[in-house]
Amino acid sequence: MIDKGVTTFMVLATSLVMLMTPGLAFFYGGLGNKKNILNIMMQSFVSLGLTTVLWFSFGYSLCFSGTLANGTDFFGIIGNLDKAFLHGITPKTIMPGKAFPEYIFFAYQMMFAIITPALITGAFINRVTFKAYVFFLIFWQIFVYYPFVHMIWGGGILQQWGVLDFAGGIVVHATAGFAALVATIYVGKRKGGEHQPNNIPLVAIGTTLLWFGWYGFNAGSELDIDDITVAAFINTDVSASFAAVTWLLIEWNSGKKKPTFIGLMTGAVAGLATITPAAGYVTVGSAAIIGTMSGFVCYRAVEFKNSMKWDDALDVWGVHGVGGVFGTILLGLFATKMINPGTPDGLFYGGGFGLLFKELAALLVAIIWASSFTWGMLHAIDRFVEVKVTDAIQKSGLDFHIHGETARVI
């Protein structure tokens, strides 16, 4: 039976998550060099189209067809092709165990698939050919994103084992963040040194869209309207706010001695990424602690990245990778049945080390697989498509040389 209220909410949540990809494009576009604005933005926007094609064709089926319990998937790692091209699904098909059409779940999860590989692009801005990125986008989704969706959300081996990830700390942020770090090391440093943001108001627009869309990202992941939905919603905002203020205060009292707008916005995104795996499992007080700690930890991660001279241009690893990992660990500490009765208590609520151990093990698997596959895939792509742009193109800008267009920045 379709519930019109829940169905409407899920349509809204899907729309909010879709809005995050253009938001990411604006965020990255404003942070990048003015000669490469269109290139970095197009890397996000092309995922809207290409990922939809993949998701409709076989991606959704590989993620959400078959389960380990029924023996109908591939060893609990990836699903089957029963739902390829939405076979057997019509607008009237109800999502099993829910009160809305399966079409909406298909679309909602597709928005996650769209933004996840796009997150990685901020790390190697200015340095990768568009053709190589298209191949990267396709293969990374198939061999990294799809398996982890199935293993954790689609009835696979990690879900059966009891691993929790409310909205993507492992599935989205940890995998994308560490893939970004590996990609950064593979393509090397930017020629001509680092660049200052070209348009901070554009970054502000992007941050606004990301923050706004994240309510659908986290609250929508309950796939219902109940007290857990409300908890996830408020926890998202509280964590982002506490992280933004924490980052601002650290920066203000550091060597810069100035409160920067970029720092405030980066801190907010760090808080959003960190609360994601725990949003529907923790109290609002815990969310405030998580946000505060994420502002500090992610700030120090970026400083560490700088000391190592890794040219992760837009701090994808420090914000999303470390944020996703740290949030997943904190889930193992702060999860409580008071908020989500279906959740085992974390360590700080008397649940022992069981949940924390499972979260750490899943993180280790995700980091190792995402990192190693990304490195190997870039090497493989480089054999038939040049991954890195030439030094001359990098210095003069990718927008005109690759796309034949330039952004007009006033």
pLDDT of residue 193: 67
Average pLDDT over residues 96-124: 96
List, as one string, the DSSP characters of 273-316.
HHHGGGTTTS-HHHHHHHHHHHHHHHHHHHHHHHHTT---TT-H
User: Which residues have a Cβ under 8 Å from the Cβ of 378 and sit 6 or more positions away?
Assistant: 136, 182, 183, 186, 187, 387
List, as one string, the DSSP characters of 149-195.
HHHHHSS-HHHHHT---SSSIIIIIIHHHHHHHHHHHHH-PPTT---
User: Which residues have a Cβ under 8 Å from the Cβ of 88 and sit 6 or more positions away?
Assistant: 82
Matching residue, tokens 């480089």: 382
Angstrom distance (rounded) from CA 216 to CA 11:
10
Angstrom distance (rounded) from CA 344 to CA 335:
7
Cα-trace Rg, the chain:
20
Angle at 21 between CA 271 and CA 234, to 5 degrees: 35
- Single pTM value for the model: 0.96
- End-to-end Cα separation, the chain, in angstroms: 53
Crossing angle (nearest 10°) for helices 261-275 and 284-307: 120
Token code pair at residue 111: 């928005």
User: Which residues have a Cβ under 8 Å from the Cβ of 12 and sit 6 or more positions away?
Assistant: 216
**Using an 8 Å Cβ cutoff, are 167 and 277 in contact?**
yes
Angstrom distance (rounded) from CA 25 to CA 202:
10
Angstrom distance (rounded) from CA 362 to CA 180:
19
Give the model confidence (pLDDT) of 227-279 as tens digits.
Answer: 999 999 999 999 999 999 999 999 999 877 789 999 999 999 999 999 999 99
Angstrom distance (rounded) from CA 10 to CA 217:
11
Nearest partner of 317 among 270, 364, 264, judged by Cα: 270
Angstrom distance (rounded) from CA 217 to CA 222:
10
pLDDT of residue 256: 72
- Indicate whether 396 pLDDT > 60: yes
Angstrom distance (rounded) from CA 24 to CA 17:
11
User: Which residues have a Cβ under 8 Å from the Cβ of 18 and sit 6 or more positions away?
Assistant: 48, 111, 114, 213
- Indicate whether 33 pLDDT > 90: no
Crossing angle (nearest 10°) for helices 261-275 and 200-219: 20
**Using an 8 Å Cβ cutoff, are 88 and 78 in contact?**
no
Q: Which residues pair with 101 in a beta bridge?
A: 94
Around Cβ 88, how many Cβ atoms within 10 Å? Answer: 11
Give the model confidence (pLDDT) of 329-354 as tens digits.
Answer: 999 999 999 999 999 999 999 999 99
pLDDT of residue 394: 87
- Indicate whether 21 pLDDT > 80: yes
**Using an 8 Å Cβ cutoff, are 24 and 45 in contact?**
no
User: Which residues have a Cβ under 8 Å from the Cβ of 76 and sit 6 or more positions away?
Assistant: 68, 151, 156, 157, 158, 160
Give the model confidence (pLDDT) of 150-173 as tens digits.
Answer: 999 999 999 999 999 999 999 999
- Mean of all residue pLDDT scores within the chain: 95
Average pLDDT over residues 51-73: 97
Token code pair at residue 63: 């993620």
- Indicate whether 410 pLDDT > 70: no
Angstrom distance (rounded) from CA 268 to CA 24:
14
Percentage of the residues of the chain whose pLDDT score is greater than 70: 99
Crossing angle (nearest 10°) for helices 102-120 and 130-140: 130
Domains of the chain are 4-403 (1.10.3430.10)
